[in-house]
Amino acid sequence: MIDILEDEHRLIKLVLESLITFADSVGEGDSGARAHLGEYTVFFRNFADKYHHGKEEEMLFHEMQRYGFSKEQGPLAVMFIEHDEGRRLVSALADIAQRNAPWSSDEIGEVKSAATALFSLLGSHIYKEDNILYPMALQTLPAGELERLSEDCDIFAERWSGIGYSEMTAMAGRLIEKYPPDPAKTSRIQSCTGCAAHG
């Protein structure tokens, strides 16, 4: 199961990087940009949250709680909090995407701010899961439980095969192609995260 979650992280990171390219490209009066922003929010709400976070919260995190991890404090608590914060930021972007008026300079600033915050949050979140939480799970959960989780993960994926998995990954591919990740932009955000100006 862990390797599947890590593979999903790679796609989510690419779409986050693409979102930064998109946010930097939006200009006043850009008529097609709201639809593209809407596609990003659909991807994050469905693939990143319902599909990926759903497997984490309903399966992996639930199993880790059975083996002594607390939902109220420690690493699991942080993961749940960050999932909720990600949902809040995606909702803010979705609200902007659903408006009908021409883009204003204020909205462009809102998109850039929320996109940068989401990139920083989920980028850090993915790093913590890949390098801290998942290794903890591998060390703590018995091999049999990990095998069962992998089987449950396959069942979860089968449920999604008919309700949008292929559409979500195809949408991700289109967004990444239209707004390619720019390492110069994303590395600048990563290096600035935690600095005096950004907390």
- Set out the domains of the chain in order of their start, with CATH numbers: 2-192 (1.20.120.520)
* Least confident stretch, 52-61, 68-77, 96-105: 96-105
Average pLDDT over residues 138-156: 92
pLDDT digits (tens, 9 = 90+) for 86-131: 999 999 999 999 988 888 889 999 999 999 999 999 999 999 999 9
Residue by residue, DSSP assigns 34-103 as HHHHHHHHHHIIIIIIIIIIHHIIIIIHHHHHHTT--SSSSHHHHHHHHHHHHHHHHHHHHHHHT--SPP
Question: Residue 130 gets which letter from DSSP?
Answer: I
The pLDDT of residue 103: 86
The pLDDT of residue 198: 43
Distance CA 44, CA 50 (A): 8
Distance CA 25, CA 140 (A): 45
How far from chain centre, in Å, is Cα 16? 7
- Rounded to 10 degrees, the C-alpha dihedral 60/135/125/191 comes to -170
Distance CA 94, CA 73 (A): 30
Tell me: pLDDT of 66 over 80.
yes
Tell me: pLDDT of 196 over 50.
no
pTM exceeding 0.85? yes
Helix (H) or strand (E) holding 118, with range, is helix 105-128
Q: Above pLDDT 70, what percent of the chain? A: 91
Average pLDDT over residues 12-17: 96
Tell me: pLDDT of 31 over 80.
no
Nearest-10 crossing angle of helices 165-178, 143-161: 80
Tell me: pLDDT of 15 over 50.
yes
- Evaluate whether 193 touches 120 at the Cβ level (below 8 Å): yes
